């Protein structure tokens, strides 16, 4: 798949290159396409291999034919099969519950902070920004030990709240600084004019700014959800069989034989977990990239 | 905690003293005062939430780290109560000392968690240095390609998001499968390496998988930096006869440096806390145990000792961040906070 796309774009590139252009420029453009093809293969080949394996019969797990062979849907059924102790379906549901809750809470809290940081002048602004950025780079293991003890003592081990609350510490800083960068770019003149027309600052925020900010908030929500969806460290320690999210379920996937890793089923589970994210990311590609890089360059 | 970001450029203008009633205008001061009030209301939920989920555990971890772990004394078989330990937990980790039968400490026997501190620190830094170096070089190269205009550029920019979007746990299982003895990587390179079976192949497996997963993030950050460079600068230098290498060294590199430093800082701090990938890919075997894995393994053997180790890990990361900001000029707050319309 990757090579086909890449080589067709090489062909297209050569076709559009003007014959009059210097050979050096042509050579440079050929090199660009070769590099682009290398990037495409490097990024997509492993993901492609996951999908191909997910659709391959168990007996042909190690088949190296580069295109789909021995196609089957059995692996997806195996992934959801609970007879070997896997609870992938429940884990999917858990990940959605945790991800949505964390995203909603982080957005509700973070949107106010981001507005203040992007729009208002106040003392200690840089201190607050520094604190939030520092929080986002914080190592998860520094939180896990006291939380492990605390949650054991109060009987929260394995509960949803024990997974949601620590997750907020990772997702909220990301939410605040992504939103802050988006908010800086918005047409705030409209807020000024709303205020001239007699709105209070709160009304101006609600009636003018919120609708304008919706795309930024939506993008940030995707980033927040992905971040929560990918979380493994906290969940691997604080969840139990009933509440574990997909990352933990996939990491400890058991097969029929204890000494054999059920790779095809794992790849099927991985495909299920990944495909919705990849589609989401590709559809909102521009916004996502803007959000990802927002904290760093603007 | 904000001090880790170094000298925060708090410019007097951005937070004009509210008590100042100069001839220049009381109205302006009142406005800032009321904005400050607004700001503190708006920021309060975030600050409180982060205080609860970050500051409280940190303080609690530090308090715990100065306590003894309650447990069975290996010598007497009697239950020993906790109680203040002073800096003994820290001394034990740094000196790789374990409690000895009959009191006191001895060097931890090989294979125990206590004897792995320096090897885990070494592994963590090795992973960090190699992955960040590889990601920077590869990411820069990818960004330079993606900054050019060619047909299919959109496709490439979309493709680099794929490794980023795959959860690390899935990435680890995917590479475990590809690094299998019968897997695609050995087949393609006609090799017969037991990738997760011995030290260096296992380390390279982690490094390769991490580089694959995180280079796109680096590339996108650098690309965003490259796109801030005005095209006229390049055109002017072309007219002046600068070679491609000169353009790269004298224009691209210095102009993209602020964004590049922030990207490297982000990635370095992220790599120093690496956990998921080696934990799932190699299980920490064959000297691929990072500091984070060591903390996790320790938790069930004693909270307080684990708290001391996690505090050490935190301090190491803090120190690296401080060095970056202070001496290498990665000004995160300036980069992300100083510009924009909100600033006066």
What three-state secondary structure class fits B241? coil
CA distances from B114 to A147, B83, B94, B291 (A): 22, 20, 9, 12
Among positive and negative, which fits the CA dihedral B8, B13, B15, B19? positive
Let me know if residue B88 belongs to a domain: no
Are B123 and B203 contacting, i.e. CB atoms less than 8 angstroms apart?
A: yes
The chain-wide mean pLDDT, for chain B, equals 81
Let me know if residue B15 belongs to a domain: no
Give me the mean pLDDT over the A53-70 stretch: 89
Q: Which residues pair with B105 in a beta bridge?
A: B99
Give me the mean pLDDT over the B203-225 stretch: 93
Chain A: give the shortest CA distance to residue B250, in Å.
20
Among positive and negative, which fits the CA dihedral B70, B76, B77, B78? negative
pLDDT band at residue A2 using 50, 70 and 90 as cut-offs: very low
How many domains would you assign to chain B?
Answer: 1
CA distances from B256 to A181, A220, A225, B321, B342 (A): 19, 25, 30, 20, 24
A151 touches chain B (CB under 8 A): no
A212 touches chain B (CB under 8 A): no
**pLDDT above 90 for B125:** yes
Half-sphere exposure of A152 (CA within 13 A, CB side): 10
Let me know if residue B169 belongs to a domain: yes
Which token pair is A130?
Answer: 């520094």
d(CA A251, CA A235): 11
**pLDDT above 70 for B107:** yes
- Quickly count: other Cβ atoms within 10 Å of residue B314's Cβ: 21
**pLDDT above 70 for A63:** yes
Let me know if residue B301 belongs to a domain: yes
Whole-number pLDDT of residue A6 = 42
d(CA A162, CA B56): 15
For the segment B261-316, what is each residue's pLDDT rounded down to a tens digit?
A: 888 998 999 999 999 999 999 988 888 999 999 999 998 888 888 999 999 999 99
Give me the mean pLDDT over the A124-131 stretch: 86
Chain B: give the shortest CA distance to residue A189, in Å.
11
B137 touches chain A (CB under 8 A): no
Which token pair is B206?
Answer: 């982690």
Interface touch B15/A285, C-beta < 8 Å: no
Are A40 and B156 contacting, i.e. CB atoms less than 8 angstroms apart?
A: yes
Longest dimension (CA), chain B: 83
Give me the mean pLDDT over the A224-228 stretch: 93
Give me the mean pLDDT over the A16-41 stretch: 80
**What length does chain B have?**
344
**pLDDT above 90 for A271:** yes
User: For testing the chain B interface, which of A36, A145, A269 should be mutated: the one with the most B CBs within 10 Å?
Assistant: A145
d(CA A278, CA A266): 18
Give me the mean pLDDT over the A194-213 stretch: 81
**pLDDT above 50 for B337:** no
A293 touches chain B (CB under 8 A): yes
Instruction: Please indicate whether residue B108 or residue B146 has the higher confidence score (pLDDT).
Output: B146
d(CA B119, CA B290): 8
Of A202-211, A287-296, B183-192, B206-215, give the range with the top mean pLDDT: B206-215
A148 touches chain B (CB under 8 A): yes
pLDDT band at residue B29 using 50, 70 and 90 as cut-offs: low
φ/ψ bin of A56: left (φ > 0), alpha (ψ from -120 to 50), beta (otherwise)? beta
The chain-wide mean pLDDT, for chain A, equals 85
CA distances from B175 to A245, A253, B159, B183, B191 (A): 21, 15, 18, 9, 16
Let me know if residue B247 belongs to a domain: yes
Class of residue B31 by CB neighbours under 10 A (exposed 0-12, middle 13-18, buried 19+) = middle
Least confident range of A20-29, A222-231, B275-284, B327-336:
B327-336
Whole-number pLDDT of residue B7 = 36
Half-sphere exposure of A112 (CA within 13 A, CB side): 17
The separation between CA A247 and the C-alpha centre of its own chain, rounded to angstroms, equals: 13
Least confident range of A22-31, A237-246, B146-155, B313-322:
A22-31
Question: What is the percent of chain A where pLDDT is above 70?
Answer: 91
Chain B: give the shortest CA distance to residue A217, in Å.
16
DSSP output for A122-147: -TTHHHHHHHHHHHHT--THHHHHHH
Interface touch A247/B169, C-beta < 8 Å: yes
**pLDDT above 70 for B22:** no
Domains of chain A: 2-79 (no CATH), 88-297 (1.10.3720.10)
A16 touches chain B (CB under 8 A): yes
A positions 69-98 inside 8 Å of B (CB): none
Are B306 and B295 contacting, i.e. CB atoms less than 8 angstroms apart?
A: yes
Whole-number pLDDT of residue A169 = 86
d(CA B205, CA B292): 18
Instruction: Please indicate whether residue A122 or residue B12 has the higher confidence score (pLDDT).
Output: A122
Element (H, E) at B72: strand B71-72
Interface touch B336/A181, C-beta < 8 Å: yes
Whole-number pLDDT of residue B20 = 41
Phi and psi at residue A65, in whole multiples of 5°? -60, 125
Question: What is the percent of chain B where pLDDT is above 70?
Answer: 81
pLDDT band at residue A133 using 50, 70 and 90 as cut-offs: confident
The separation between CA B274 and the C-alpha centre of its own chain, rounded to angstroms, equals: 8
Least confident range of A17-26, A204-213, B86-95:
A17-26
A33 touches chain B (CB under 8 A): yes
Least confident range of B97-101, B149-153, B247-251, B296-300:
B97-101
Least confident range of A183-192, B24-33, B64-73, B273-282:
B24-33
Instruction: Please indicate whether residue A9 or residue A56 has the higher confidence score (pLDDT).
Output: A56
Q: Which residues pair with B80 in a beta bridge?
A: B71
The separation between CA B325 and the C-alpha centre of its own chain, rounded to angstroms, equals: 14
Q: Which range marks the domain in which residue B169 is found?
A: 117-306+326-338
Whole-number pLDDT of residue A43 = 94
Are A2 and B162 contacting, i.e. CB atoms less than 8 angstroms apart?
A: no
Give me the mean pLDDT over the A86-93 stretch: 92
B positions 253-272 inside 8 Å of A (CB): 258-259, 262-263, 266, 269-270, 272
Can you list the alpha helix ranges (DSSP code H) found in A154-209? 160-184, 189-196, 201-204
In this complex, the residue of A42, A50, A297 whose CB is nearest that of residue B224 is: A297
Question: Which of B123, B121, B112, B291 has its CA nearest to residue B203?
Answer: B123
d(CA B135, CA B129): 10
Which token pair is B285?
Answer: 């075997």
Question: Which of B264, B335, B307, B321 has its CA nearest to residue B63?
Answer: B307
Let me know if residue B108 belongs to a domain: no
Interface touch B174/A142, C-beta < 8 Å: no
Q: Which single residue is written with the structure tokens 């990037």? A: A39
DSSP code, position B96: T
Whole-number pLDDT of residue B103 = 65
d(CA A43, CA B220): 13
**pLDDT above 70 for A153:** yes
Chain A: give the shortest CA distance to residue B197, in Å.
15
**pLDDT above 90 for B73:** no
Q: Which residue of B has its CA nearest to A264?
A: B177
d(CA B335, CA B326): 14
B181 touches chain A (CB under 8 A): no
- Give per-residue burial for B326-343: e unless 16+ CB within 10 Å, then b: eeeebbbbbbbbbebebe
d(CA B333, CA B100): 48
Whole-number pLDDT of residue B236 = 86
Let me know if residue B103 belongs to a domain: no
Which token pair is A124?
Answer: 């200690």
Of A126-140, A273-287, B167-181, give the range with the top mean pLDDT: B167-181
Residues in chain A within 8 Å Cβ distance of B148: 32
**pLDDT above 80 for A87:** yes
Which token pair is B335?
Answer: 């980069």
Cα dihedral B210, B216, B220, B222, rounded to 10, equals 50
Are B151 and A35 contacting, i.e. CB atoms less than 8 angstroms apart?
A: no
Residues in chain B within 8 Å Cβ distance of A113: 42-43, 45-47
DSSP output for B154-209: HHHHHHTHHHHHS-HHHHHHHHHHHTSTTSHHHHHTT----TTTSHHHHHHHHHHH
Q: Which residue of A has its CA nearest to B219?
A: A293
Give me the mean pLDDT over the A81-105 stretch: 92
DSSP code, position B98: E
Interface touch A247/B167, C-beta < 8 Å: yes
Can you list the alpha helix ranges (DSSP code H) found in chain B? 26-50, 56-65, 88-95, 117-147, 153-159, 161-165, 168-178, 184-188, 199-226, 231-239, 244-247, 253-272, 276-281, 291-299, 303-327, 332-333
Whole-number pLDDT of residue A40 = 94
φ/ψ bin of B285: left (φ > 0), alpha (ψ from -120 to 50), beta (otherwise)? beta
Question: Residue B185's domain is classified under what CATH number?
Answer: 1.10.3720.10
The separation between CA A199 and the C-alpha centre of its own chain, rounded to angstroms, equals: 38
Let me know if residue B185 belongs to a domain: yes
A39 touches chain B (CB under 8 A): yes
Residues in chain A within 8 Å Cβ distance of B228: 297
Whole-number pLDDT of residue B223 = 92
């Amino acid at each position: 798949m990757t090579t086909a796309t890449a080589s067709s774009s090489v062909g297209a590139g050569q076709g559009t290159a003007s014959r009059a252009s210097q050979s050096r420029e042509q050579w440079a453009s050929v090199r660009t396409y070769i590099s682009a093809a290398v990037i495409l293969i490097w990024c997509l080949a492993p993901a492609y291999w996951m999908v191909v394996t997910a659709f391959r019969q168990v007996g042909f797990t190690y088949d190296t034919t580069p295109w789909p062979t021995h196609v089957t849907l059995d692996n997806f059924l195996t992934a959801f099969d609970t007879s070997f102790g896997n609870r992938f379906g429940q884990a999917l549901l858990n990940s959605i519950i945790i991800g949505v809750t964390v995203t909603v809470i982080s957005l509700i809290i973070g949107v106010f902070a981001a507005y203040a940081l992007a729009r208002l002048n106040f003392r200690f602004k840089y201190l607050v920004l520094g604190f939030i950025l520092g929080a986002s780079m914080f190592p998860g293991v520094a939180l896990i030990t006291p939380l492990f003890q605390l949650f054991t003592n109060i009987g929260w081990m394995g509960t949803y709240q024990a997974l949601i609350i620590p997750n907020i510490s990772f997702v909220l800083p990301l939410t605040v600084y992504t939103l802050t960068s988006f908010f800086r770019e918005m047409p705030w003149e409209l807020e000024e004019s709303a205020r001239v027309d007699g709105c209070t600052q709160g009304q101006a925020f609600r009636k003018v700014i919120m609708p304008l900010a919706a795309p930024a908030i939506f993008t940030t929500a995707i980033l927040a959800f992905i971040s929560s969806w990918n979380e493994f460290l906290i969940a691997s320690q604080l969840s139990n069989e009933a509440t574990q999210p997909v990352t933990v379920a996939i990491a400890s996937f058991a097969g029929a034989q204890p000494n054999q890793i059920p790779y095809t089923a794992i790849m099927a589970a991985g495909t299920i977990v990944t495909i919705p994210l990849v589609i989401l990311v590709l559809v909102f590609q521009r916004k996502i990239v803007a959000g990802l890089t927002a904290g760093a360059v603007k | 905690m904000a001090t880790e970001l170094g000298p925060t450029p708090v410019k007097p203008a951005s937070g004009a003293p509210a008590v100042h009633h100069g001839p220049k205008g009381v109205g302006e001061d009142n406005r800032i005062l009321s904005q400050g009030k607004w700001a503190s209301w708006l920021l309060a939920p975030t600050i409180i939430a982060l205080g609860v989920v970050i500051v409280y555990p940190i303080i609690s971890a530090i308090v715990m780290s100065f306590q003894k772990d309650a447990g069975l004394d290996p010598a007497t078989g009697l239950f020993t109560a906790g109680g203040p330990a002073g800096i003994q937990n820290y001394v034990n980790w740094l000196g790789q000392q374990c409690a000895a039968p009959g009191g006191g400490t001895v060097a931890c026997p090989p294979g125990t968690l206590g004897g792995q501190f320096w090897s885990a620190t070494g592994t963590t830094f090795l992973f960090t240095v190699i992955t960040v170096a590889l990601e920077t070089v590869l990411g820069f190269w990818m960004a330079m390609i993606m900054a050019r205009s060619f047909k299919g550029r959109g496709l490439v920019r979309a493709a680099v998001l794929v490794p980023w979007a795959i959860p690390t746990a899935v990435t680890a299982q995917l590479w475990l499968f590809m690094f299998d003895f019968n897997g695609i990587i050995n087949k393609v390179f006609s090799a017969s390496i037991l990738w997760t079976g011995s030290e260096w192949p296992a380390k390279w497996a982690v490094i390769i998988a991490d580089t694959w997963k995180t280079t796109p993030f680096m590339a996108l950050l650098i690309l965003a930096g490259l796109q801030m460079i005005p095209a006229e600068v390049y055109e002017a230098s072309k007219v002046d006869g600068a070679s491609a290498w000169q353009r790269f060294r004298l224009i691209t590199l210095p102009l993209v440096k602020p964004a590049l430093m922030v990207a490297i800082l982000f990635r370095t701090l992220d790599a120093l806390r690496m956990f998921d990938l080696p934990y799932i890919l190699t299980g920490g075997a064959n000297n691929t145990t990072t500091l984070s894995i060591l903390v996790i393994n320790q938790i069930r053997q004693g909270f307080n000792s684990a708290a001391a180790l996690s505090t050490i890990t935190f301090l190491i990361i803090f120190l690296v961040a401080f060095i970056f900001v202070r001496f290498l000029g990665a000004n995160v707050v300036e980069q992300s906070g100083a510009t924009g319309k909100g600033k006066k």
